[in-house]
Amino acid sequence: MPDIDIRITGRAGRITLTRPKALNAMTYEMCMAIDTALRNWREDDAVDLVIMDAEGDKAFCAGGDIADLYATGIKGDYGFGRTFWRDEYRLNALIFEYPKPVVSFLQGFTMGGGVGIGCHGSHRIVGESSKIALPECSIGLVPDVGSTLMLALAPGRVGEYLGTTGHRMGPGDAIFAGFADHFIPIAEWPALIEMLEASGNAELLNSHAATPPESELEQQQPIIDAHFAGESLGDILNTLAHSDQEVSAEAKKLMGRNSPLSMACTVEILHRLRGPSLTQRKALELEYRFTFRAMEHGDFLEGIRAQIIDKDRSPRWQFADQSVPAVAVSKMLQPLGQDMLTFEET
């Protein structure tokens, strides 16, 4: 497949995304190829670990390739999108639960679907250029691909902040928020990958980890906690409206571009997930309730039209006054019955 290179090198299963001109955006076919490889290698004694990386300097993976989703959805065909998200989420769970080390090298942009394949493994490496973000609310989705698990586990209310603003995390931020494990200068990556391939030993990474840059998020957390602790999106926006701090002003600017329905559902998802019953599968199942309905009842198609198709950057969101009724959130997140996300292997 021209978009992805899957092979075994030494003791390592190797997955390299090869669409640098498209910022290595994930297609459905790429998703399924990774799924097949991981299932094959799971029982293969010749494979000790899995290494994921990508060609190009700009991005590990800037998200899912949404052209086909839009093309089918705009015709009233929601089946392709639902199948894409279902199978993608099953892959995210497979990576999270994988019995062998999964090492990902996350240069440049890692966003949306890139988080789903790059940030659920056991060893997540960032470098100087790494920028990790969840900008889904800007296209009428919610942070998905299992990212709500990490958002719910992030310190304080950092999860609500990242999920509703789409703030781009540098390497220090990503480690602080729980989206990455080690900072290693990018110049060292090729030699390190060769060592991992030869040895099959992921513990080598520990001795190469360097001190990450300072995290702005960590410094801003007290302010974020104070402004993003509300029970609903309305509470958060009300608190931000009465603040003159720089962090608040930037948050209001970012949130002003996003779908109010998506942001309200993001806040609700994180509140539902927090607690002793939090699991990756629970996060994915709750996300799927939203994405299953996103084309038909949410703002997804309008978000793609405004950002990607017409590029007018003027989406006509539902609840444009940012006042989202609780019933609208409940409708997007109610159980799907027989359509609920399951994880049985076929």
pLDDT tens for 205-256 read 999 999 999 999 999 999 999 999 999 999 999 999 999 999 999 999 999 9
Give residue-wise pLDDT tens across range 132-184.
999 999 999 999 999 999 999 999 999 999 999 999 999 999 999 999 999 99
Structure tokens that stand for 71 in this block: 């093309």
Q: Span 274-278, mean pLDDT?
A: 90
Residue 249: alpha-carbon gap to chain centroid: 25
Instruction: Give the pLDDT score at 172.
Output: 98
Of 90, 152, 113, the C-alpha closest to 23 is 113
For residue 50, what pLDDT band results from cuts at 50, 70 and 90?
very high
- Residue 325 has what pLDDT? 97
Query: pTM for this one?
Result: 0.96
CB 222 within 8 A of CB 210: no
Q: Provide the mean pLDDT of the chain.
A: 96
Residue 113 is a catalytic residue: yes
Exactly one of 63, 73, 81, 113 is catalytic; name it. Answer: 113
Percent of the chain beyond pLDDT 90?
96
Q: Identify the pLDDT of residue 56.
A: 97
Average pLDDT over every residue of 16-40: 96
Per-residue pLDDT band for 115 (boundaries 50, 70, 90) equals very high
Known catalytic residue at 298: no
Mean pLDDT throughout 284-299? 98
Q: Write down the architecture of domain 4-339 according to CATH.
A: Alpha-Beta Complex (3.90)
pLDDT band at 66 (very low <50, low <70, confident <90, very high): confident
Question: Nearest-5° angle of CA 292, CA 344, CA 146?
Answer: 50
Kindly list the domain boundaries of the chain, sorted by start residue.
Answer: 4-339
**pLDDT value at position 214?**
97
pLDDT value at 65 more than 90: no
Per-residue pLDDT of 279-289, as tens digits, reads 999 999 999 99
For residue 132, the SS3 value is strand
CA nearest neighbour of 257 among 325, 314, 328:
314
Q: What is the mean pLDDT of residues 321-331?
A: 97
Q: Would residue 159 show up in a list of annotated catalytic residues for this protein?
A: no
Residues in Cβ contact with 224 at an 8 Å cutoff, skipping those fewer than 6 apart: 156, 157, 158, 161, 217, 247
pLDDT of 89 above 70: yes
- The percentage of the chain sitting over the pLDDT mark of 70, rounded to a whole number, equals 100
pLDDT at 295 (0 to 100): 97
Identify the CA nearest to 283 among candidates 119, 132, 74. Answer: 119
Residue 346 confidence class, pLDDT cut points 50, 70, 90:
low
Contact 271, 305 (CB under 8 A): no
The residues facing 169 across adjacent strands are 132
- Which residue of the set 136, 160, 181, 268 is catalytic? 136
Question: Residue 316: which pLDDT band, with cuts at 50, 70 and 90?
Answer: very high
Q: Name the active-site residue from 64, 170, 172, 298.
A: 64
- Which tokens sit at 324? 């989202």
Q: Is 218 labeled as catalytic in the residue annotation?
A: no
pLDDT at 1 over 90: no
**Residue 275: what pLDDT?**
87
Over range 12-28, report the average pLDDT. 96
pLDDT confidence of residue 2: 85
